[in-house]
Amino acid sequence: MSSNAARVAGRHFLQIPGPTPVPDRILRAMDMPTIDHRGPEFQKLGKRVLEGMKTVFKTANPVIIYPASGTGAWEAALANVLSPGDKVLMFETGHFATLWRNMAIKLGLHPIFIESDWRIGADADALEARLREDKAHEIKAVCVVHNETSTGCISLIPEVRKAIDNAGHPALLMVDTISSLASIDFHHDEWGVDVTVSGSQKGLMLPPGLSFNAVSDKALAAAKTSTTPKLFWSWEEQLPHNEKGYFPYTPGTNLLYGLAEAIDMLHEEGLDNVFARHDRHAEATRRAVRAWGLEVLCREPKYYSSSLTAVLMPEGHDADAFREKTLNHFDMSLGTGLTKLSGRVFRIGHLGDTNDLTILGALSGVEMGLSVAGVPHKKGGAQAAMDYLADCARGTLSAAA
């Protein structure tokens, strides 16, 4: 049965910073009959993904999987280790850090929110200074977004861990990796993270619908004294079932088939190669932005994201009007500006199952879109990216160049 809409030839370019395009191989892996989630066939799948996700988070400790979006994993992280009235220290990296703060308030926690202009990652010095002031150790956790999806700024988690240690503070370190896991290198154990939050629909190349908590021994100990009400999110409910390869509720079976395939794909490419690929595409994108004469929102190079690039619009030009023109003429979706950045930025996603030609196609679409929308810019951004990627292929440049 046909619709009245005209068919658009070719593939849609989904260049938002998540959900990302789902590879055919993962779609085929998910295309399986539903099975008994209490039976032996599922047990093999359960053990496979529960163990496999440890290798992605780089942890020897449990990784808990929920049939939920990243918002669910946020709530699980807070609810399992904290109690109403607890203070949590957070840094305003952008829209998603703000949403996590708002959730903390709803759960009866008392967030201390260090404000910023949304153009940097979490300032480790500012976090350390605030922790040093907390002589009574009333702050129970430090919550940081590793990659702020609204701004294209990363936070340097080893620096945050060092800040907590320098302050001699016992606070838990909780990190959101929803738009960085499997795109930007992350070490749950080595970096001393207590709870890492993530989701399925970005670097893991899956549809939305799965979320994760990686947990440390310290976090598991804290969970024993938490008084926040919980059942679905409870680690205590989950872990005994997980040890046997099962879940205490009906899991997202077909998404788990896809997750098993995604884990295999990441390791077939090699995680270091995955991260280098993301670094390369991020640098190609920034070179294109600079060649257009536009400005990357992230102010300091040490905070540059390899998952996405947020681009400031010239004064007097609306980012959403440009995005609409680009979608209508070139069938490409770009990320919108969120809350404080609404209409001021557009975001180019370069994470997930993306190769050099895909990112060049996307940057060509952006350049054509700027022209069609009448946005002042210089020509040659796509060419600058092409030159860079060709140099990388010849081995004359690296992603860090």
Q: What is the 3-state secondary structure (H, E, C) of 287-352?
A: HHHHHCCCEECCCCHHHECCCEEEEECCCCCCHHHHHHHHHHHHCEEEECCCHHHCCCEEEEECCC
**Contact (CB, 8 A) for 274 and 183:** yes
Which residues are annotated binding-site positions?
Answer: 347
* Helix-helix angle 271-291:381-394, to 10 degrees: 150
Q: Determine the 3-state secondary structure of 269 from DSSP.
A: helix
CA–CA dist 310, 296 (Å, integer): 6
Peptide bond connecting 19 to the previous residue in cis, omega within 30 degrees of 0: yes
CA–CA dist 213, 44 (Å, integer): 21
Instruction: Give the type of residue at 267.
Output: H
Residues with Cβ < 8 Å from 373, sequence gap 6 or more? 317, 321, 322, 325, 326
Angle at 131 between CA 129 and CA 133, to 5 degrees: 75
Residue (of 398, 378, 380) closest to 388 by Cα position: 398
- Compute how many other C-beta atoms are within 10 angstroms of the C-beta atom of residue 361: 18
Which residues are annotated binding-site positions for substrate?
Answer: 347
